[in-house]
Structure 1
Amino acid sequence: MSNLSRFDPFSIEPVSEMFQGLFRPLRGISNEDAPLAQMKIDVTENDTAYQVKAELPGVEKKDIDVKIDGNVVSIHAKVERNKEQKEGERVIRRERYSGAVSRSFSLASDIDEASASAQYQDGVLSLTLPKKTASEQKRLQIN
């Protein structure tokens, strides 16, 4: 006798087997080659402001751009690196990296752009984003 099994067309197992390992990092790529592949951020909140810390190792302060639009914060950074190792007059190894990374996220409250501040030290961008005070709703008189 042969074994019978029920076919489930909506089963996800064949699909997961087909894509198994597809999203693992490739072996030839190291973090040194692409230091800004993914910007890591931490966002904390208190009653009056948001604190954002973004890791941007090796980026110059002049190459960082932060934009605030209402409750949306966008951070853009670009980096160019040139490393040379010489032995005598011959160039043994030359590495160049050029790339950019950006990250946008929205917060629950609008940001007071006029009093927002940013600091960059030791590869960490720190943003202090004060919340806008909730304005009272204006009640219109009906004539």
Structure 2
Amino acid sequence: MANISRINPTGNALDDLFRGFFMQPVKFEGQPEIQIRMDVSEDDQAYTVHAEIPGVKKEDIQVHIDGNQVSIGAEVKNEKEVKEGEKLLRSERYYGSVSRAFSLGQEVDENQAQAKYKDGVLELTLPKKVTVTAKKLVIQ
């Protein structure tokens, strides 16, 4: 009785074989792996984030701030055609998206936040929200 296995009466062995097969990320040869690499630094007034997103247009980058939660997303588009005269030898297209989300130690002032994108690096300046300290009431 040591070899007990679970049988799925509604499925078959072929379903079990391919379970998760189509959910695996696919990387084509010659295509760069898409990642957002980041450096986050902090001073008394703000957080500074440097995110490397090479090969992406600034119009295809989205940054969302919600309290101390920050998310960065980008759409990657890559098209390549190889022609010999009028004859098309090869045409490749790659479309994908990449995102990264993280939490900061303090809430961010969304109205003062700034973003700059140059040479494949997104720079975010995220000022810390001024916290109001609790006031103790004196009872008269």
| Pairing 1:2-81 to 2, within 5 Å after superposition | 29=27, 32-36=30-34, 38-81=35-78
Q: 1:95-134, CA deviations, whole angstroms, 9 ceiling, x for partnerless residues?
A: 1110000100000000011100000000000000001112
Give % identity.
53
User: Conserved in 2, the CA contact under 8 Å of 1:35 and 1:57?
Assistant: no
Q: TM-score, normalised by structure 1?
A: 0.73
Output the CA distance in 2 between the equivalents of 1:79 and 1:60: 8
Report the residue type matching 1:81 in the other structure.
N
Structure 1: which 5+ runs fail to align?
Answer: 1-27
Q: CA RMSD of the aligned region, Å?
A: 2.0
Structure 2: which 5+ runs fail to align?
Answer: 1-25
Output the CA distance in 2 between the equivalents of 1:80 and 1:35: 13
Aligned residues between the structures: 115
Give the C-alpha shift of residue 142 in structure 1: 6.6
Report the residue type matching 2:31 in the other structure.
D
Question: 2:85 — aligned with what?
Answer: 88
Q: 1:64-117, CA deviations, whole angstroms, 9 ceiling, x for partnerless residues?
A: 000000000000100111111100122112111100001000000000111000
Q: Which runs of 4+ in 1 moved over 2 A?
A: 28-32, 138-143
Question: 1:8 — aligned with what?
Answer: none
